[in-house]
Every structure is written in C-alpha cells, then in structure tokens.
Amino acid sequence: MGHPFPIREIARQAGLSEATVDRVLNERGGVRESTVREVQQAIADLDRQRTQVRLVGRTFMIDMVVQAPERFTTAVRAALEAELPSLHPAVVRSRFHFRETGPVPELTRTLDRIARRGSQGVILKAPDVPEVTAAVARLAEAGIPVVTLVTDLPATARLAYVGIDNRAAGATAAYLMGQWLGDRPGNVLTSLSSGFFRNEEEREMGFRSAMRTLHPDRTLVEIAEGQGLDATQYDLVRAALERDPDIRAVYSIGGGNIATLRAFQDAGRECAVFVAHDLDHDNTRLLREHRLSVVLHHDLRQDMREACHVVMRAHGALPPAGVTMPSAIQVVTPYNMPG
C-alpha cells in the first residue's frame, strides 16, 4: 500500500492507533477488513487534501491566444469564466488575445511577447504553419506550457491537446448526412474557414472518407478560406451555387452559417440537410428555428477545465494524470438542446 505519509498522520486521519495502522500497512494480519478500508480511505483523504494544500494561495496567469470568429471567442471566454469557481482553491487569471483573422507574423509576435513577459501557460488555437510551430518552441524554451484548443499542433512542443477527435466528428457528419438525405439526389457542399487549421482539415478528411465508403455516388463540392466570416462566406457559397445547380446539402466545418443560409435563400434554393459544428449564439438560434438539421457540439467548459488542469500539472500543483482523452461528440438537434 504505497503512500508518502507518516504513520502518525495516517493514524490521526483514520482515528486508529499507530500500531493498528502499522499492521495494516505491512500486511501483518490480525485486523478486520473494515479497518483496512479505513486506513485506505485515510490515505486517499490525505492525498486529496495534499493536492488542495498545494493549490491554496496559488495564482495562475494564463494567456488565451485564439484566432476565430467573434461568435466562437465569445463562447470560449464564457466557458472559461464559468469554470473558474471549480478551480478553487487555486486562482486562475486570464489575458485574452483574440483575433478573427490576420497575418501569421502578427500572431507569432503575440506569442513572442508572452514568452518575453512570462506566463504560467498559453491556451492556443492557431493555424498549423511553420511560423507558429517555431513560436511554440520559443514558449517552451521560456518554460511556458502550451495547450492547444479545438485544433491541434502535433508537431510542436505543446503539452496536450483538448477538444474532440475531429476525424471522428467528420465521419459522424457523413453518417448523419447520408441517413437524412437518403435516396434524394443532390451534391453536398463542404465549407472550411481555412485549410491551415488542422481540425478543419481532419474533419474534412473524416467526412470525405466516410462518404466515399457509405455513399460513393454522392458528389462533394468544397469551398474554403471564408475565415468563417459572413461577408466572405456569402460570396463563396453564392458562387458555388451558381456553378453547381445540384447542391442540396451543406456540411459546415468552419462556420459562417447565417451567410450560407442567406446565399441559398437569395439563390432561391433549398438546403435539405445542414450539418454544423458548435453551439455558439448563431448556431443556437438557427437550430431553434429548425434552419440547421444538427449541430455537432462538445462541452467547451470541460475543455477549458482540462486545459487549466494541464497547466496546473505542469507547475506541480496537481498530481500527474494519464493521456488527455478527446471530448465527447454531442449530436444536438432542435429537440435535445441543452438548457
């Protein structure tokens, strides 16, 4: 029964004599099974309380660097702030560095400023490009742990990725798309905000692979680089509809769904099935109005809690844990929306 605590401390916690605890720990026999369980519980309680003691009075300053449309960064900020009470007795303070789009050098300058100024950790959503990889390496050299959020940077020195299995999410979208389209004819529009975000690339690959297996005769039409912004998304979708009169469904990987639906409406076209990602404020409204068929969602609060725990573990404030598991993929329809 491994433990780091003195026998006297275990005995005090369990309300037993030191001799009894010694017999249990050294498996000498002569004690009841219930007494063994009391000693085991005392060790577990001490271990949990030791973790709490390590956290008392600790403040962690975390920098959140996220490139995404405002609707997503708003959801991220709200998720983190909602989780702050659950992180007590530690105190987590955050600095937000949000941008909808922009040149990569501007993003890397932000990361380098953090490396020079110092931080307890960086939670990062960024494109998977060499310049960002190099900037993450400089953060690691400065002793700053990096956790990737929603989209991974596996070739970097980041500590962990938090988010869903994006290939599985894409395959799930393909399964739902095929079930709901059934035998109706029509091509499927796939929409990415940018090919430089690994999560979107993996979702697209998962979707395309599953569609090829399940529905090999269904044509996929891809648009990209709308950045999830309504103005650019509208133009891309409208042009795709003009080129292809057979588009009848949408798998929206990168957002901009209000603009996509407006482009269908202005073209006088029906979107029979629309699969989207994330319950941000736009998608929540569209789903309630039955203008989206389904949203593939994951619990951002859970992601933010896990990201903060990774940072705390990096500083020795929490005990080590196993491999971070992907978040669960939630299939949300107008009839099972969370409160």
- Taking only the tens place, the pLDDT of each residue in 197-225 is 999 999 999 999 999 999 999 999 999 98
* Domain with residues 55-154+300-324, CATH architecture: 3-Layer(aba) Sandwich (3.40)
Token pair, residue 251, equals: 């798998």
State the pairing for strand pair 330-332/294-297.
antiparallel
* Choice between 304 and 102, residue whose per-residue pLDDT is larger: 304
Give the model's confidence band at 57: pLDDT under 50 very low, under 70 low, under 90 confident, else very high.
low
User: DSSP E strands: which ranges in 116-198?
Assistant: 121-125, 146-149, 160-162, 187-191
For the segment 310-333, the average pLDDT, to the nearest whole number, is: 89
Tell me which residue of 331, 311, 292, 277 sits closest to 150, measured CA to CA: 277
Mean pLDDT of 135-144: 97
Write out the residue limits of the CATH 3.40.50.2300 domain(s) in the chain: 55-154+300-324, 166-297
Question: So what's the pLDDT on residue 1?
Answer: 52
- Is pLDDT of 304 > 90? yes
The token duo for 51 is: 């973790």
The two structure tokens encoding residue 183: 């035998």
Start-to-end C-alpha separation, the chain: 45
220 neighbors 190 (Cβ within 8 angstroms): yes
Q: What percent of the chain clears pLDDT 70, i.e. is strictly above it?
A: 96
Q: Which CATH superfamily is domain 166-297 in?
A: Response regulator (3.40.50.2300)
